[in-house]
Amino acid sequence: MSTRTPRRGRPPTVDRATIVAAARAQLEADGIDGFSMRALASEIGVSPMALYRHVGDREHLLALVLDEVSATFPSTDLPEDPRTRVEKLIGDVFDVLVADRWIADVLRTGNRGGAGALWLVDRILGAAAELGLSPAEGMVLYRALWNYTLGAILNLAATEPRREDDLSPLAQRVNDLGSENFPHLVAASNQQPKGTTKEVYMQGIGFLVDGYVRRAQA
């Protein structure tokens, strides 16, 4: 009885961890608009088909990158007060997205986020339940918080704040048209929220949480 000699081929030159790390580096450098499977394969030194064999298609690779990023989300240092806990959790997400804007751009394409996000959602739903919301109401609250957060990131102001006498194009146009045409817009533009972007963002989060809680308790 003859034995079969094992086939000896070219050893693998790349693995999943290498691809994910290179994809993350490309996203950090060029954003989602500059992300390309072909360019990634060229950078690593393999064929595009080698990438697909290891990580599936483009969307699956993006999900793997988000899995890696979101792995740091779980934290044991959470406030006992459920309202404060919600603010802490979603505020931490805001900080992550501000630090790595490319993540928001990836999520904007429709990717649902990494596995660590499941932990985040579960903790927010738990806090919502303690505040008196049903599971369905808690999910509505979470979606409102997430949509507000993603919108805030995508519309984030420039890092350097404007001088008081340096109006944005919209504010300048509103002032030119005058309070007779847009009384509420003029009043709002003259009383813009003070403080940092994070402070203004958290003020909005407070409005959302309080509104949903009052509605659930009514």
Residue 168's pLDDT band (cuts 50, 70, 90): low
Helices (H), 159-196: 169-177, 183-189
Supply the mean pLDDT for the chain.
83
**Is 71 a residue whose pLDDT tops 90?**
no
Q: What is the pTM of this model?
A: 0.77
Q: How far apart are CA 68 and CA 25, in angstroms?
A: 12
Q: Mean per-residue pLDDT for 130-141?
A: 96
Tell me the per-residue pLDDT of 156-166, one tens digit each, with 9 for 90 and over: 754 445 555 66
Question: What pLDDT, on a 0 to 100 scale, did the predictor assign at position 117?
Answer: 81
Higher pLDDT, 74 or 141: 141
User: Would you state the structure tokens that stand for residue 4, as one six-digit string?
Assistant: 């079969």
| Total residues found in the chain within this entry | 218
All structural domains of the chain, each given as residue ranges with its CATH number in brackets, are 16-56 (1.10.10.60), 82-217 (1.10.357.10)
**Is 7 a residue whose pLDDT tops 50?**
no
Q: Phi, psi (5° rounding) for residue 215?
A: -65, -40
Q: How far apart are CA 110 and CA 112, in angstroms?
A: 6
Higher pLDDT, 67 or 167: 67
Q: Mean per-residue pLDDT for 107-116?
A: 74
Q: How far apart are CA 13 and CA 18, in angstroms?
A: 10
Q: What percent of the chain has pLDDT over 70?
A: 81
Lowest mean per-residue pLDDT among 45-49, 80-84, 111-115: 111-115
Q: Mean per-residue pLDDT for 71-93?
A: 87
> Measured between alpha carbons, how far is residue 158 from residues 16, 84, 98, 100, 185 in Å?
36, 28, 11, 15, 21
Lowest mean per-residue pLDDT among 17-31, 65-79, 201-215: 65-79
Residue 74's pLDDT band (cuts 50, 70, 90): low
> Measured between alpha carbons, how far is residue 189 from residues 102, 174, 193 in Å?
30, 8, 9
**Contact (Cβ atoms closer than 8 angstroms) between residue 89 and residue 83:** no
